[in-house]
Every structure is written in structure tokens, then in C-alpha cells.
């Protein structure tokens, strides 16, 4: 499997990134962990390999990680999204797909995680789309998936993933979902629907608090064809 099939996870050193990395590595996909710091990227890549010894996992600075994959997942807090994308812009090239997983939680402005804040472009994903070079497609996905459950490799992650963005790119990201046992891709249409999906995360965080579910609940749509 060549470099082109690799998946990069920028900011893949945090809460959400390593779980996704473990799951994709376990499914046989090459994973590149990105960080602002090379040694941190290498350390987390080694941790992912410890959990998935058969995995092909490396760590690089974000800009270098972005060059090494056809699909680049942004896994940084919303407030660092624009600076991160600007910092890797020159490393992106036509045909690459950038996946926005971010949620504009109001924590970005010192308020709580059970609310979102307004974003001029409409959503985190549309902000990202406004910043990437021409020919790079932006797809929104994975915002509603629990970090805790991703890391729990013994169990499936029972959750639907609403994937939005330009059709061909969207289909490529939808194809990643079944690599994680339990995840099901739902065709979320155009990128503008990301604003709805991002807001659901704030609702899920509130539900996790009210129902005392630190491991995080999942989302399922009913009535979809197989």
C-alpha cells in the first residue's frame, strides 16, 4: 500500500487523534500522526504502534505529515483550526482531501462545551474550506464519535457518521467509516450541512453529562437501507 493511501491526522497527539489512528492502523491503513512538535508526533506514533503492533504508523510535524497522505484529518481544537490550516497550506496539493472533525465549542471563547459559538463561514468545516488551496476538497466527518470509545479497541464504536462535502471526496471519506467496527457512514450531502452535525456534538456532550456517560454515547439513524 503506497503513501497515497495513507491517512494523516494533524494534532493526532490529543484526545481524539490516537483512537482514530489505532482504529485505522488496525484496519491495515498506513497512518501518519502530525504534531507541532516532531518528538511528540514520534512518541504518539510509537504509542499507537504499541496498541497495534502490526500497524504502519509514523510521526511527523504537521506540514510534513500532510504531504504524506491523500486524506488529511484535522484534529485540533476549533480555535487553532485556522492557524493550523494556514501553517500547512503549502504542503497541500490538488486532489488531496482535508477532513474537518472540529466543533466550534464555546470553550473557544471561555464558555462551556455544551454550547457552540457562531462561525462567520457557517461551520468549522466551511472555515477550513475557505482556507485550503484550490483543488483541495474539504469533507466534514467524525465530529460525533467519542474519543473514549475509539480508544477502547476491544469494542465496536456504535455510531453513525454524517459525512458532508463534494460528492467524490465525500464518498472516499465515507469509505473510511467501516474500517472502524461499528461506525456507519451516512451521506450528509453538501458541506453546508456540517453546521448541523457540529452542533450535535455539543448536544451529545450535554447528554453525556446528564446521563453520566463518561465513555460517550453514540448516534444512530433508523430506517436507512442496508
Residues lying near ligand NAP in the complex (CB under 6 A): 11, 13-17, 35-37, 40, 75-78, 80, 83-84, 101-103, 143, 145-147, 201
CA angle 152–158–164, rounded 5-degree value: 110
Residue with cell 497512518: 31
- Residue placing its CB nearer to ligand NAP in the complex, 37 or 167: 37
Q: Which is nearer to ligand NAP, 87 or 189 (CB)?
A: 87
Nearest partner of 162 among 122, 199, 120, judged by Cα: 199
Kindly state the smallest distance separating residue 74's Cβ from ligand NAP, in Å.
7
Nearest-approach distance from CB 5 to ligand NAP, in angstroms: 23
Kindly state the smallest distance separating residue 22's Cβ from ligand NAP, in Å. 13
Report the residue number, 26 or 151, with the smaller CB distance to ligand NAP: 151
| Grid cell of 199 as nine digits | 452542533
Strand partners of residue 57:
31
CA distances from 117 to 47, 52, 109, 144 (A): 34, 37, 8, 17
For ligand NAP, the nearest residue by Cβ is 14
Q: How far is the CB of 190 from ligand NAP (least distance, A)?
A: 20
State the nearest-atom distance from the C-beta of 14 to ligand NAP, in Å: 2
**Distance (Å, rounded) from C-alpha 214 to C-alpha 150?**
13
Closer residue to ligand NAP, CB minimum distance, 1 or 16: 16
Cell numbers representing residue 80 in the block: 487553532
Cα–Cα distance measured from residue 105 to residue 19, given in angstroms and rounded to the nearest whole number: 21
Amino acid at each position: 500500500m503506497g503513501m497515497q493511501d495513507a491517512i494523516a491526522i494533524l494534532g493526532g497527539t490529543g484526545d481524539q487523534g490516537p483512537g482514530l489512528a489505532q482504529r485505522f492502523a488496525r484496519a491495515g491503513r498506513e497512518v501518519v500522526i502530525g504534531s507541532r512538535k516532531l518528538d511528540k508526533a514520534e512518541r504518539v506514533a510509537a504509542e499507537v504502534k504499541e496498541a497495534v503492533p502490526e500497524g504502519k504508523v509514523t510521526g511527523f510535524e504537521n506540514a510534513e505529515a500532510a504531504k504524506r497522505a491523500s486524506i488529511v484529518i484535522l484534529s485540533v481544537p476549533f480555535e487553532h483550526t485556522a492557524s493550523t490550516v494556514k501553517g500547512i497550506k503549502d504542503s497541500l496539493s490538488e486532489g488531496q482531501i482535508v477532513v474537518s472533525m472540529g466543533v466550534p465549542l464555546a470553550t473557544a471563547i471561555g464558555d462551556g462545551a455544551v454550547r457552540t459559538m457562531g462561525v462567520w463561514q457557517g461551520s468549522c468545516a466551511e472555515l477550513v474550506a475557505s482556507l485550503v488551496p484550490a483543488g483541495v476538497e474539504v469533507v466534514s466527518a467524525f465530529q460525533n464519535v467519542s474519543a473514549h470509545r475509539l480508544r477502547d479497541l476491544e469494542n465496536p464504536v456504535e455510531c453513525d457518521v454524517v459525512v458532508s462535502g463534494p460528492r467524490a471526496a465525500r464518498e472516499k471519506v465515507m469509505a473510511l467509516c467501516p474500517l472502524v467496527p461499528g461506525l456507519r457512514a451516512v451521506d450528509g450531502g453538501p458541506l453546508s450541512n456540517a453546521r448541523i452535525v457540529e452542533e450535535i456534538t455539543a448536544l451529545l456532550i450535554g447528554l453525556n453529562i446528564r446521563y453520566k456517560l463518561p465513555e460517550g454515547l453514540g448516534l444512530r439513524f433508523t430506517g436507512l437501507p442496508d
